[in-house]
Amino acid sequence: MGLVECCQKQVVAVSPDTPVVEVARIMKEKNVGSVIVISGDGRPVGILTDRDLVVRIMAQERDPGEVRSREVMTRNLITFRDSMGIYEAIRKMADEGIRRMPIVDDAGILIGIVTLDDIIRMLGEEMAIIAENIEKQSPPMQREAPPIPM
């Protein structure tokens, strides 16, 4: 299974010029913990997480209305191709120590995002299907009769 089959296609994205106070409002409204920062042509150039806002803005007592996304976003964003397999992506996430994977097409345009939560949910569903199949193909469990008291 490729990443595009399990990614969220409704990615919350902002421009590099978006004030971080607006980013925080968007995160609240959309109930997400991160936004992808994209260039005018739809290519991801960074990511901003709720933790970034706390550590890079609030903890440094910066004015969130004056700071733009580009100033505090995480650069050198690691993206994943839509053709990448899920297990290859899991391995790369572990190797890179990341929890969110922006998915891009062959032209580098953002088309989705996959998070560790998405992967865990998908694997849980797959495990349930496997368990159901095993149960269907297994003989019924023999239950021992309780011992007769003497």
Residue-level pLDDT at 10: 81
Which residue would you say has higher pLDDT here, 117 or 62?
62
Residue type, 38: I
Q: Which segment of 4-18, 54-68, 69-83 scores lowest on mean pLDDT? A: 4-18
pLDDT at 1: 52
Q: Which two tokens stand for residue 23?
A: 């980013």
Write down all domains in the chain, each with its CATH number in brackets. Answer: 3-137 (3.10.580.10)
Tokens describing residue 70: 């580009």
Give SS3 for 59.
coil
Task: pLDDT band for 83, please (50, 70, 90 cuts).
Answer: confident
Reply yes or no on whether the pLDDT at 3 is more than 80: no
Q: Which pair of tokens denotes residue 22?
A: 């607006």
pLDDT at 114 exceeding the cut of 90: no
Q: How far lies 132's CA from each of 1, 127, 140, in Å?
A: 20, 9, 13
Mean pLDDT over residues 118-144, rounded? 83
Residue 44's DSSP bridge partners are 38
